[in-house]
Amino acid sequence: MNRLSFRSGIAILAAGIFTSACILNPVVPPSDPVVRQMFDVFSISGRLSASDGKQSATGRLDWEHHIETDRWTVSGPLGQIVARIDSGPDGAEVLLANGERRYAPQIADLIPILLPGAAEAGLPPNHLAAWVQAAPSRDAEVRTLDAQGRPARIIDRGWIIDYLGYRDESPEAMPRLVDISRGEFRLRLVVDRWETETP
């Protein structure tokens, strides 16, 4: 696939631009952090937007995550599938709306088709499962907590992950609005549905 094809895929996504009003979590004095479970298996549905300051893309995301496999399905504003990425131990494959397929050794090579600027920013897809659950690794720094002791801001390998809203006020609630940024690159995810399970 040439670069023009990548841009055409991004342009289709950009047709579904959405806006989301939000209020930043207030910065509160750190309390004892709650212990958050990291789920190895989950599925989410929601809306995503990505921008690198020059290009932007938005759409709906359905993400099925298992221990060794992931499936990302991104749809446009009318529900049409723009692209689907499947990844596993043997590599990754993207299927575009025009039927074209592209293979790569890892999902990191294909995510930039959907998220402009992700490659230049060095977005690590293998960390997204933890970030979206607000379950940081030991190497990450939890910079601020909310009133329930949940992460409000995490710094991980130069990335800033802000949790602008959770599904409810319980300590174990899953994130509802996640903002991930580094430099000019910004990825925002609004999660409408969460399903979690342990294998």
Can you tell me the mean pLDDT for 140-149? 94
Would you say how long the chain is, in residues? 199
Interval 66-85 mean pLDDT: 92
pLDDT of residue 7: 43
Does pLDDT of 136 surpass 70?
yes
pLDDT above 60: residue 185: yes
Q: Report the DSSP beta bridge partners of residue 84.
A: 73, 95
Q: What is the pLDDT of residues 11-54, one digit of tens each?
A: 444 444 333 434 445 444 445 788 888 999 999 999 999 999 99
Domains and CATH numbers, the chain: 3-197 (2.50.20.10)
* pLDDT at position 57 over 70: yes
List CB contacts of 102: < 8 A, sequence separation 6 or more.
1, 93, 94, 96, 110, 113
